[in-house]
Structure 1
Amino acid sequence: MATFEPAYRRLLESGEFERRVSQAYQHLSICDVCAWECPVDRRAGRLGVCRTGLRAKLSSYGAHLGEEDPLRGWRGSGTIFFTRCNLRCQYCQNHDISQTDVGDEVEPEGLAAIMLELQAAGCHNINFVSPSHVVPQIMAGVYIAAQAGLRLPLVYNTGGYDSLAMLHLLDGVIDIYMPDMKYGDAQIARQYSKIRNYPQVNQAALREMHRQVGDLQIDERGVAQRGLLVRHLVLPNGLAGTAQIVGFLAEEISPHTYLNLMDQYRPDYRVHLIPELNRRLTSQEYAQAVEMAHAAGLHRLDERNHFIWFPR
């Protein structure tokens, strides 16, 4: 088995990584770190939509076995959960993490120590969850950890509302991009996640991610090493725009895109105020989503068992 070398090791050895970290931090001064482009001075403690200043805030970290099989393997994905997500999904199933102020602020040195701890625990990768608003801090942490011997693939696990400027700085740093494609319609995205121009921003980000890393590559052990893995949460009543999303992936990204069509939607958070989302997904709705993906030409669908609620 060939020895895997994560992309960021080459940047570290060339000296380019340090320059990238410095560039990323400059974006905090008039913040355009995520697609909101607020533009506040986070280095001076000003807060924008993400409510995050100079330091990233973590809710938890650890070996996570709930991810897709190519990520979790048999030892788990080394998952680091950031708080204060830059989305405002009204049905968020992690709202206790993403929409609250729980957790602890961490310096880059502390973030680096966590990565090295997860590596020592045997995790297959380092998985940054909700990273879009803290890219500079992540890059600084990875730079420190890489100097101390970090050698695991890095997973960028994002809601998909990402800045192209940050993605360009991450070129050669991130090995595996795992974006959500939440919506095919901008008005629906504004209504249910309080964000503007989501499909336009999201699709541009997907194009850039795929340009950098290509289709998902899985080694002989079944563990992902590099590439793009897309998640799409199927919503009741077709509100996620699944047909548009699978069509875009097949036609403009790659028919070999690894796609997890997720069926675990359940009414949560503020959904009691949104009648059209205030129920579980049905087996028929999920089956239709799978049929749409196949009809579009996508053939690499995540194969985990899906458990669907059957309405009486």
Structure 2
Amino acid sequence: MQLPEHCTLCPRRCGANRAAGRTGYCGAGDTLLAARAALHHWEEPCLSGDPNAATGSGTVFFTGCTLQCCYCQNYKISQQGLGKPLTAERLAEIFMELQQKGAKNLNLVTATQWLPWVTQALDAARRNGLTLPVAYNTGGYETVETVKALAGYVDIWLADYKYASPALAKELSAAQDYPQVAHAAIRQMLLQTGAPVYDADGYLQKGVIVRHLALPGHSDDSLAVLQRLADLRQETGVSFVPSLMSQFTPFYRAA
């Protein structure tokens, strides 16, 4: 595995020499950290299924994040470094354990800062019999290059489209360029992955889910995001699953 000596995995392009143990903007260094791996029952129904069933989405929550959302509900993981060290070999074993527990998919949450470990673990797990579709759960702040690099690894993109306003993106997530970056990344996800494909039980096997969390006092921005999603559908000719969320809770610095 080759660790970044001048990290450009995310749009921050902070240039951290992670091979030398330096941490990037995201908080990631030279040791993989993850906070939780379990069957998750509260994703979209086409990923998690019945919340009362024994199955679910096989979710791994990775430590760190390329965004700085002031209302993040997982801020202890994303901003405060909560997590345990893992090797790529152990991560591959975790993927297999989730499959053995009955997961319907493998759900990788904020994994971009750990891409060298994740791709190595996926390669190893597939050699050992991993057959689950892989869902990449992202805040949408991705480079087109990273999306392209994940071709052949990711079957399902579960991406946020948080903001249409650069000013709002800067204020709430410290990422003024978020709107254009996310738009370009999601466009590539659609072109790369194609229209949704479901199995006989209604579980998504391939495609793109685009989430938007409606924020109090910013309905105009939500409407602008929805228009941008309609534009993406027209631009690409590729359908996707829209997921409009209303469960904003004032966590972290928004409390």
With structure 1 as the length reference, what TM-score do the two structures score? Answer: 0.76
Cα offset, 1:39, TM superposition: 0.7
Unaligned runs of 5+ residues in structure 1 are 1-21, 273-312
Equivalent position amino acid for 1:263 in 2: S
With 157-166 and 108-117 compared, the bigger mean Cα shift is at 157-166
> How well do the aligned residues superpose, as a CA RMSD in angstroms?
1.5
With structure 2 as the length reference, what TM-score do the two structures score? Answer: 0.93
Match of 2:18 among 32, 42, 47: 42
Q: After superposition, what is the alpha-carbon deviation per residue over 1:211-241, rounded to whole angstroms, capped at 9, x for unaligned?
A: 1112222222010000000110000112671
In structure 2, C-alpha distance between the alignment counterparts of 1:80 and 1:224, rounded to whole Å:
18
In structure 1, C-alpha distance between the alignment counterparts of 2:218 and 2:83, rounded to whole Å:
35
Unaligned runs of 5+ residues in structure 2 are none
Match of 1:93 among 62, 68, 73: 73
Q: Is the 8 A contact 1:210 1:227 kept in 2?
A: yes
With 160-169 and 106-115 compared, the bigger mean Cα shift is at 160-169
Equivalent position amino acid for 2:65 in 1: C
Match of 1:52 among 25, 28, 49: 28
Equivalent position amino acid for 1:230 in 2: V
Equivalenced residue count is 248
Q: How does 1:28-39 map to 2 (within 5 A)?
A: 28-39=4-15
State whether structure 2 residue 254 is matched by structure 1 residue 271.
Answer: yes
Which structure has more helix as a fraction of its residues?
A: 1
* Bigger Rg over Cα: 1
Match of 1:196 among 176, 184, 197: 176
In structure 1, C-alpha distance between the alignment counterparts of 2:5 and 2:12, rounded to whole Å:
14
Which structure has more strand as a fraction of its residues?
A: 2
Aligned to 1:145: 125
Q: Is the 8 A contact 1:93 1:268 kept in 2?
A: yes
Cα offset, 1:43, TM superposition: 1.2
Q: Is the 8 A contact 1:112 1:141 kept in 2?
A: yes
Equivalent position amino acid for 1:69 in 2: P
In structure 2, C-alpha distance between the alignment counterparts of 1:202 and 1:160, rounded to whole Å:
5
Task: After the TM superposition, list the runs of 4 or more consecutive aligned residues in structure 1 that deviate by more than 4 angstroms.
Answer: none
State whether structure 2 residue 97 is matched by structure 1 residue 114.
Answer: no
In structure 2, C-alpha distance between the alignment counterparts of 1:85 and 1:69, rounded to whole Å:
25
**Percent same amino acid among aligned pairs?**
38
Match of 1:167 among 139, 147, 157: 147
In structure 2, C-alpha distance between the alignment counterparts of 1:164 and 1:269, rounded to whole Å:
30
Q: Is the 8 A contact 2:7 2:13 kept in 1?
A: yes
Residue 46 to residue 224, structure 1, CA distance change in 2 (3 Å): same
